[in-house]
Amino acid sequence: MGLGSRENKPHRIGFRFALQGIRYAFAAEWNVKMHVFAFIAITIISVLFQISPFEWMMVFLVSGLVIITELLNTAVEHLLDYLTPEQHPVVGQIKDVTAGAVFIAAIVAVAVGFVIFLPKIIALF
């Protein structure tokens, strides 16, 4: 078998490496912190408004989507900075596209938030 075969790799659980990556992204990237804090805030608001199980599912899905796209954006940016330390227009375009993916995910999350929370907020008044 080749060097990349599974037999040559040590058998270990990847959770440790995944958590290291999340920890690194949280420590190094302001946007990751912002999205995680937004998730914590929306979770607290969701508890206060006693949202339904379906609404919880939607909050978790869109929040996860935003955090996942931010982590992928961070990974792509770091990879491109490593491979091409000098500025290059194509690298800039790729970074813009991945940032656009995060932006779209955030817009979707805000839209879902409005659908879930706006009627509850209006009902308070």
Catalytic residue ranges: 70
**Are 68 and 22 contacting, i.e. CB atoms less than 8 angstroms apart?**
no
Six-digit token pair at 105? 């995910």
* CA dist., res. 37 & res. 107, Å (int): 17
Instruction: Spell out the residues 6+ positions from residue 66 whose beta carbon is closer than 8 angstroms to its own.
Output: 35, 38, 39, 102, 105, 106, 109
**Are 73 and 109 contacting, i.e. CB atoms less than 8 angstroms apart?**
no
* CA dist., res. 50 & res. 61, Å (int): 17
**Are 70 and 35 contacting, i.e. CB atoms less than 8 angstroms apart?**
yes
